[in-house]
Amino acid sequence: MIRQLQVNDIDNVILLEQESLGTTLGKSMLENMIGNDFVKAYVYEIDNKIIGYISVTFDGEILEIMNFCVAKEYRRKKIASSLLNHIFTTHRQIGMKSAILEVRRSNLAALCLYEKYGFLKILVRKQYYSNLEDALVLQKNFE
């Protein structure tokens, strides 16, 4: 089941982010997403366990994916696709024209997923991450 982030989900989302991404947006930023019209977060829950999460900003036209992860043991089970489909459907209904994100150059699984969804590379941010790895900026247009 996909639903919006709630306050009592935050500790579990932080753990999921740290395990999957090695970093987290942090408790205060996640708390600020709740009830915010500009920033949203969604969780994918199975048997009362959060196994996927996506956070986005939306300005009325451009959706930016900030953090997106699925627990290791649930990968390759279409959880990521379900979360992407959910945010695209939800935000297209309210005017989304394009989506943008950044991804580590080495994250081949994510790059394959985004390519499947029609994202194209528009920019390389050299040595963007703390380990000096490049970030690829990808965009998908819906018009």
How many angstroms separate the CA atoms of 34 and 41, rounded? 8
Active site residue 45: no
Helix or strand or coil: residue 30?
Answer: helix
CB 33 within 8 Å of CB 42 = no
Contacting residues for 76 by C-beta, under 8 A, at least 6 apart: none
- List the catalytic residue out of 45, 64, 74, 102: 102
User: Can you spell out the DSSP letters for 123-140?
Assistant: EEETT-STT---EEEEEE
For residue 102, indicate whether it is catalytic.
yes
For residue 39, the one-letter residue type is V
Q: From the candidates 42, 44, 53, 114, give the one annotated as an active-site residue.
A: 114
Which residues are known to be catalytic? 102, 114
